Amino acid sequence: MCRDQVSSDYFNDYMLTHFGAPAFSAGGANWWKVNESIFNSPVEYVFVGVGVDFIGATFKDSPEKLIGNVKAAMGIEYKAEGSERWVATSYGVLITYHDRTTPSKMYCFGYPHTPY
């Protein structure tokens, strides 16, 4: 999901083509409700920046479980920064605690990026 090059135009077009109109727009992003899994973790929403290059998803697994699944699938290491934030050793990926019903949120930023 996260690569060095993140194009919000590309991903908005992709999501419109394959998933239809977004469920809503908020926080500078279009949000699509999906019934998919990424990295073997169930996804609730995929969000794509509007005019800003970032994409992401909210997951039903805890950040710890999501990080373990990403590591198993991709070999990417994450480290804890505080109690609710995990950062990849490469730039551009952030996993945070979201809420009780959707515990994890993963952000992917374009490169170069400004950390959020």
pLDDT digits (tens, 9 = 90+) for 19-67: 999 999 998 999 999 999 988 999 999 999 998 888 889 998 888 888 7
Mean pLDDT value across residues 103-114:
64
Mean pLDDT value across residues 65-89:
67
Q: How many domains does the chain have?
A: 1
- Burial class for 38, CB neighbours closer than 10 Å (0-12, 13-18, 19+): middle
Question: 78 is written with which tokens?
Answer: 């994450």
Confidence band, pLDDT 50/70/90 cuts, at residue 16: very high
State the pLDDT at residue 115: 44
Q: 14: domain range?
A: 8-109
Does residue 81 form part of some domain?
yes
pTM of the model: 0.77
Does residue 22 form part of some domain?
yes
Does residue 65 form part of some domain?
yes
Whole-angstrom distance, CA of residue 9 vs CA of residue 69: 28
